[in-house]
Amino acid sequence: MILGTCSGAGKSLITTAICRYLYRKGENPIPFKGQNMSNNAWVDKNNGEMAYSQAVQAWAAGAEPISAMNPVLLKPQGDCTSEVIHLGKSVGISKAATYYEEWFVSGWSAIKHGLTELNSINNFTRFVLEGAGSPVEVNLQYRDLTNLRLANHLKANCVLVADIERGGVFAQIIGTLALLKPNERDLIKGIIINRFRGDIALFDEGRKWIENETKKPVLGIMPWLNEIFPPEDSLDLLERKSMKSNTEIKIVVIRLPSLSNFSDLDPLEAEPSVQLIWIAPGEQLGNPNAVIIPGSKQTLKDLEKLKASGLAEQIKAFAASGGIVFGICGGLQMLGNELEDPLGLENSLEEKLNYKFSGLRLLSIKTSFERKKTLSRRNVIALWPKKSEVSGFELHHGKSLLSKSLENDLMPLPMFNTPELGWISAKKSHLNVAGSYLHGIFENGEWRRLWLNEVRRSSKLKDLPIINYNHSDKREEIIERLTDVLEENINLTPLLSK
């Protein structure tokens, strides 16, 4: 089990690398995080929701991602509330103040059910567990679902990861160990120092001090990865966004207050010629080559933020000038004429009497929010920019249909051979506004380059070569190189003993 001295210590990254390390050694490890809080989700082959980080760990382990690997997923939706997902299925909405009172028992049951399901997998060798936050939040420990309760339940060999980049690494380690009960402290088999800058040999004295004081071995020191991976290899997997220079295309991505599935943009981040610029409502759009409105957990609330901040009008003016605008899922819904929420699912209004909202009116579609969530993996044919095969997944409440055309505009054209998955505008011969329900659309290398070439032509730049190289291939390369770094710097032997 990978525990951290704090949130953001690098547990997900270390867990991913250990999964691939074990897979290289001929094992069949299974990643597992009992409870995760994230709006960055993945849909498994059984149409169940799970955190994207556990999907990445599954790929690193050579396994098919399934929701049992993340049996409890909390998806924040503002106002101190979260959607509760158990074993891939939505089971309700919870307020933060009453979450453990209402959901602790069923959450622990879901975790044990997930463990049982995963234990039945053929050739399974061992779990690689990821903790959450710090394991020693003393006011929360008695109701913690995913750290020491799980470690004790499985008698897991634990490693404690500390982030030296934050400073105070000695206090992080000593303080965490001091707050553990004796039986919990016995589970800790070693310590990893993460994100060290410079010459690791300079930390030799610090390493010796930690080992003398804690009587726990320092298994190794992971270097600062920004100095190892070039900017075009930037991924959320590496817990950073690149700072590239000399790029040809600048794409503004709207940082919605309830942003979801931001990993949709990772493939564009990894394109050497592309610089993503994230802006929030209240900031200026500027003069980009294209604009992307990503997914949202609270589409109506985020749409109102865009309008109130003036950013909606900037996006509309950009599109009217011929600027390329693309929406994904909630972003697609915002591009439409009208959105209806008769059931109050978005919880956007003080008065439930008014449930109709005006969209950005850039695509002639109308969206109605329904209680049943659409969860589905898709393999379809894209019709635009050119015919190509694409794959991805749907994850949304709303359903969209064509609506009455505005003024003299043409009705939107379908993007795919499955029409309800997305549309393209057809205004005055411009196909400059489009949107899709398909998460992961940019993962498809051929389609991504076709779309980028549309952007490049609008900016009078030469086309990029079309590639059949999907982003999953790039992700594989980075996981391999990440694991090389782990093997060079970390001794996992104390963790792998029975």
Distance separating alpha carbons of residues 51 and 37, to the nearest angstrom: 8
Which amino acid, one-letter code, is at 153? H
Distance separating alpha carbons of residues 205 and 137, to the nearest angstrom: 29
Residue 329 a catalytic site member = yes
Q: Containing H/E element for 273?
A: none
Q: Which of 321, 451, 347, 374 is CA-nearest to residue 95? A: 347
With H, G, I as helix, E, B as strand and everything else as coil, classify residue 305. Answer: helix
Q: Which of 86, 396, 397, 439 is catalytic?
A: 439
Q: Are 22 and 40 in contact (CB under 8 A)?
A: no
Q: Which of 304, 372, 381, 368 is CA-nearest to residue 333? A: 368
Give the β-pairing of 324-328 and 433-436. Answer: parallel
Q: Which of 86, 329, 396, 397 is catalytic?
A: 329
DSSP state of 88: T
Where are the strands (E) in 14-114, listed by range? 30-32, 35-37, 41-43, 49-51, 72-76, 81-86, 89-95
Residue 397 a catalytic site member = no
Q: Are 388 and 444 in contact (CB under 8 A)?
A: yes
Counted residue by residue, the chain has a size of 498
Which amino acid, one-letter code, is at 179? L
With H, G, I as helix, E, B as strand and everything else as coil, classify residue 295. Answer: strand
Q: Which residues pair with 369 in a beta bridge?
A: 398
For residue 463 the two structure tokens come to: 């086309």
Q: In whole angstroms, how far apart are CA 445 and each of 363, 422, 451?
A: 26, 19, 10
Q: Are 426 and 407 in contact (CB under 8 A)?
A: no
For residue 321 the two structure tokens come to: 């000038």
Where are the strands (E) in 118-271, listed by range? 127-129, 158-163, 188-196, 218-223, 249-254, 259-260
> What would the DSSP string read from start to end of 227-262?
GTS-GGG--GGGT------S-SEEEEEE--TTEE-G
Is 170 exposed, middle or buried, given 0-12, 13-18 or 19+ CB atoms closer than 10 A? middle
Maximum CA extent, the chain:
78
Catalytic residues: 329, 439
